[in-house]
Amino acid sequence: MARLGRFLLVPFLGALLTSTAFAQGEMTDVGTPRSETLIVQTFDGKVANPDAQNPLISYAIWRGFRELGWSSLWEMDTAKGVSYPELAAEMPEVLNPEHTKFRVKLREGVYWSDGVEFTTDDLDYTLATAFKYRDKLTRVSAYTSLIKSWNVIDKYTIEFETAEPSYDFQTAMGVYSWGAQFVPVPKHIFEPQGDDVVSFKNTNAVTLGPYKIKAFDPNGFWQLWERRDDWERSGWGNLGEPKAKYVLYKDFGPEETRTLAFVQNQYDVDTFMSPDSIQAAKGRNPAVQTFSATMPFHDMNDACSWGVYINQEKAPFDKSEVRWALALGLDLKQVGITALSGQFKAAALPLSDTPITDPLFYKPSASFLNDLTLEDGYKPFNPNFGSELVDALKAQGMPEADLPTGDAIEASFGMGWWKFDPAETEKLMASVGMKKGADGFFMNADGTPFTIDFAVPGDWNKTLQRLGFSIGDSWQKAGFNVQVRQVDNGEFNAVQNTNSKLELMLNWSNTCVYNSNWRNTWRVLRPENVKPADSSDPLTGNYLRVTDPDIFKIVSDSASLETDSDEFVKNGIEIAHMLTEGMQEINLMSIPTSIPTNNTYWTNYSKQDNFYAAPYTWWSSFKKTLVNIEPTGK
C-alpha cells in the first residue's frame, strides 16, 4: 500500500513542481520570455466576449486594442495636452472660414498587420459603413453625427465637411484624452462581409498599430500581443521602437490575489489597486513603486474630476443657498482621510486640477476663488486646505518624509477647497426657511422631514462607493438626513440620465475638461438638453442639469472660436466661475488613479518626476510608455 502511495504521489508532486517552475521561471505562463514581456493588469477585468474585436460594434478598446492594436488620425500628447498627427501626415488643413471643411493628408507607407497598405480607401469604407448601418453599429454615433460628407481626393488625401463648425476636428476625429471614437477598419477584411458587417466579430483582428494579437483566452482573462516585425511601418511606428516584444494584458483576479501576484513580480503595472494594498505590496517588495514618492502618491491627472451632481431643477436643490449649505457642510478633509487615506487632490472648480488645466483654468481663477463672496457676505473659499490636510495627516502619524512641504503642498493637494463651516450651513439653510428639527436634521420649510437620496456606485467602483458613504456620514453629522444608495452600473446610468430619478449623485461624466478645449465636455450644456424636473425622458448629456441661459449662450458663441485661443479659454473660465458661484456641482477632487508599477523587469515608467505621458495602461497614450520603458535585463 505504501509502495502504491509513493508510486502515485511522486509523479504527482513532480508534475506540480514542473508546472510551478514553468509558471515562475524565465518564461511567462503564456509561453513568452518574461524579460521581453510587459505584463499589465487589465482595466476591464474578465470579459465575456474576447473574440468580439470589431471596433464598429463592440467594446474592442480594452485589453490593448486602443493602445496597441488600433491607430488614430491624431493622437494626444498627454504630458502637454496637445494633439499631434499619427496616421495623418499633419494637422488638418482648414478649407473655409466657417471651419466646416477640412483636408487631411495621410502618412504614406503605413501598413496593416497583414501587409496591406493603409490608404484613404480604408477611411472611405469605414465612414460609408458607419453611415449605412448607423442604426445597428453602436460605436459610430460620435462621428456620424459630426461628419456631413467626405470626398476621397487620392490615395493619401481626403476632404471632410462637418455638420457644424468644428474647431476641434483633430480631437473629434482623433484622440481627446483616453482614445479616439473614430477607429479606421481594414476595407479588405470588412468589405467582403457585406451586410454581415453589423455582426462581424473580426476575431484575431488585423491591426494598424505596431502590435498584433498573438493569442487570447476564450474565457476572457487575458490577451497576448506580439510586436510586428514591420512595426516601423505601422500606424505609430514613427514614434519609436516599442521596447516590449510581447505585452500581456491579464486579469489577476480580486485585489487579494493581485496584491500577492504583484509582490511575486508576476506582473509589471497594476490598475486601481487600493492604497492599503499598495502599502502592503511596497512593504514586501521594494521594486513596487507608486506614481509619486510622496503624498498623495498616485496620479491625479485624469481628464475627469469627481463631484456631487445635483438635480438643480428639483426643490429645494433649485436654491443656491441649499447647494452651498451642502458644500460648506461637507468636511472634505476628513472624508478624504477616511475614504482615501488622504491620497487625493482637492479641486474646487468643476474640472480636474492637473498640470495641463492648472495654468489654463485654476491659476487664473485664484483671485476669483479667494474673493468669492456669498450673498450674505460670507467668503467660502479656504486656500489653506492643503496645508491643513498636511497637518491633519501629520497628527495621524504619517511620516513627515511622505508629506509635501512648501509650494509642493499646492501641487500635491490642490490650491484649496471650501471651508467646513456647519454654522454657515445652518445660516444658509435658515435663509430659505429650512431649520433643524428635534432630531437634529434639517426640515423642509413647511416642517416636513427633508431627506436626501444620494446615489453612489456600488461594488463596481469601490473607491467611489467608499467616498460616497464617507460623504453621507459627513453630511449626516452636519444635519442633512442623507440616504446613501448604492446603485449598479445600469441604475447609475438611469439616475444620471433621468431627471425624475436624481436628487444627488457622485459622478464624473460632465467634468472632463482635459485641456483648453473645454467644449469637448461642456458642449452638451444647451437649452435642448434641459428637461422638466419630473421628466422620465433620458437626458442627452447635460448631467449637471444646468439651466442657465447665459451659460448656454457662451457655449454656443464659443463654437466659432479656435479652441486654444485666449477668448475661448476665457469663456471656459467664465463658465467654470458661473457653475461655481451657483454651486451647481460640488466638485470634490481630481480622480486619484493608483497605477503602481514593478521595476523588476522594466523601468522608466511615466512618474511624477519623469512625466512623459499619462501613465494609464488603458489610454491610447500608453504607446508612449511602450517606447520609453527600458528592460532591466532580468
Partner 1 sequence: MGVVQYIAKRVGLYFAVLFIGLTITFFLPRFMPANPIDGYIGELQSRASGSLTSEAIAELRDNLEQLYGLKGDLFTQYVSFLNRVVLHFDFGPSFAFYPEPVSNIILNALPWTLTLLLTTTVLGWALGNMVGLVAGYFHTRKLATLLEIVGIMIYPIPYYILAVSLIILFAYIIPIFPLSPTFPVGDISLSKIWLIVYNSLLPAMALILAGFGWNILSMKALAVATTEEAYVTYARLKGTSHWTRMVRYVFRNAMLPQVTALALSIGTVFNGALLTEILFSFPGVGLIMRTAASGGDYNVLYGAITVSIVAVATAGLVIDLIYPLLDPRIRHK
Enumerate residues 15-54 that contact partner 1 by CB under 8 A: 15-17, 19-20, 23-24, 29-30, 45-49, 52
554 scored as a contact of partner 1 (CB under 8 A):
no
556 scored as a contact of partner 1 (CB under 8 A):
no
Find out whether the peptide bond into 275 is cis, omega within 30 degrees of 0: no
Nearest to 217 by CA among 51, 16, 386: 51
Among 25, 93, 145, 549, binds partner 1 (CB under 8 A): 145
Greatest CA separation found in the chain?
Answer: 92
Residue partners of 395: CB distance under 8 A and separation at least 6: none
Q: What residues does 289 pair with on adjacent strands?
A: 597
Among 250, 319, 333, 577, binds partner 1 (CB under 8 A): 250
CB of 23 to partner 1, least distance (A): 5
| Position 304, amino acid | C
Among 355, 422, 433, 458, binds partner 1 (CB under 8 A): 458
Half-sphere exposure of 395 (CA within 13 A, CB side): 8
Phi/psi at 94 (5° precision): -85, 130
Among 118, 125, 150, 222, binds partner 1 (CB under 8 A): 222
Return the exposure string of 368-389: e unless at least 16 CB atoms fall within 10 Å of the residue's CB, then b. bbeebebeeeeebbbeebbbbb
- From the CA atom positions of the chain, what is the Rg in Å? 26
Closest CB to partner 1 among 369 and 512? Answer: 512
Of the listed pieces 88-96, 299-307, 413-421, 532-540, which binds partner 1 according to CB under 8 A? 532-540
CB of 543 to partner 1, least distance (A): 8
> Among residue numbers 225 through 244, which ones bind partner 1 (CB under 8 A)?
none
Of the listed pieces 56-64, 66-74, 113-121, 285-293, which binds partner 1 according to CB under 8 A? 56-64
Among 62, 118, 475, 492, binds partner 1 (CB under 8 A): 492
x/- binding map, residues 84-123, to partner 1, per CB under 8 A?
----------------------------------------
Cα(464)–Cα(401) distance, rounded to whole angstroms? 28
Cα(194)–Cα(510) distance, rounded to whole angstroms? 38
542 scored as a contact of partner 1 (CB under 8 A):
yes
Closest CB to partner 1 among 196 and 371? Answer: 196
Closest CB to partner 1 among 473 and 491? Answer: 491
493 scored as a contact of partner 1 (CB under 8 A):
yes
459 scored as a contact of partner 1 (CB under 8 A):
yes
x/- binding map, residues 438-457, to partner 1, per CB under 8 A?
--------------------
Nearest to 50 by CA among 42, 180, 41, 32: 42
DSSP three-state, residue 75 = strand
> Among residue numbers 263 through 292, which ones bind partner 1 (CB under 8 A)?
264, 266
Phi/psi at 106 (5° precision): -90, 155
Of the listed pieces 213-221, 556-564, 582-590, 596-604, which binds partner 1 according to CB under 8 A? 213-221
Distances (CA, A) of 562 to 78, 362, 519: 20, 20, 11
Cα(566)–Cα(562) distance, rounded to whole angstroms? 9
Closest CB to partner 1 among 537 and 550? Answer: 537
Cα(137)–Cα(131) distance, rounded to whole angstroms? 9
496 scored as a contact of partner 1 (CB under 8 A):
yes
Among 194, 254, 377, 397, binds partner 1 (CB under 8 A): 254
Cα(8)–Cα(13) distance, rounded to whole angstroms? 9
Of the listed pieces 144-152, 295-303, 324-332, 607-615, which binds partner 1 according to CB under 8 A? 144-152
End-to-end CA distance of the chain: 46
CB of 164 to partner 1, least distance (A): 9
Nearest to 451 by CA among 576, 347, 317, 548: 317
305 scored as a contact of partner 1 (CB under 8 A):
no
Of the listed pieces 69-77, 238-246, 331-339, 489-497, which binds partner 1 according to CB under 8 A? 489-497
CB of 87 to partner 1, least distance (A): 21
Look at the chain and count its residues.
634
Closest CB to partner 1 among 54 and 312? Answer: 54
x/- binding map, residues 185-204, to partner 1, per CB under 8 A?
--------------x-----
Closest CB to partner 1 among 365 and 584? Answer: 584
80 scored as a contact of partner 1 (CB under 8 A):
no
592 scored as a contact of partner 1 (CB under 8 A):
no
Among 4, 7, 97, 135, binds partner 1 (CB under 8 A): 135
Cα(469)–Cα(462) distance, rounded to whole angstroms? 11
Cα(184)–Cα(54) distance, rounded to whole angstroms? 11
DSSP three-state, residue 125 = helix
Among 482, 524, 530, 544, binds partner 1 (CB under 8 A): 524
Among 67, 75, 86, 251, binds partner 1 (CB under 8 A): 251
Closest CB to partner 1 among 489 and 560? Answer: 489
Could you tell me how many residues of this chain bind partner 1 (CB under 8 A)?
76
Is-contact 39 266, C-beta < 8 A? Answer: yes
Q: Cell triple for residue 46?
A: 474578465
Bridge-based pairing of strands 585-590 and 288-289 is unpaired
Q: Cell triple for residue 302?
A: 485624469
Closest CB to partner 1 among 374 and 561? Answer: 561
Is-contact 317 521, C-beta < 8 A? Answer: no
Among 320, 334, 384, 498, binds partner 1 (CB under 8 A): 498
Among 25, 82, 141, 283, binds partner 1 (CB under 8 A): 141
Nearest to 244 by CA among 41, 70, 66, 38: 38
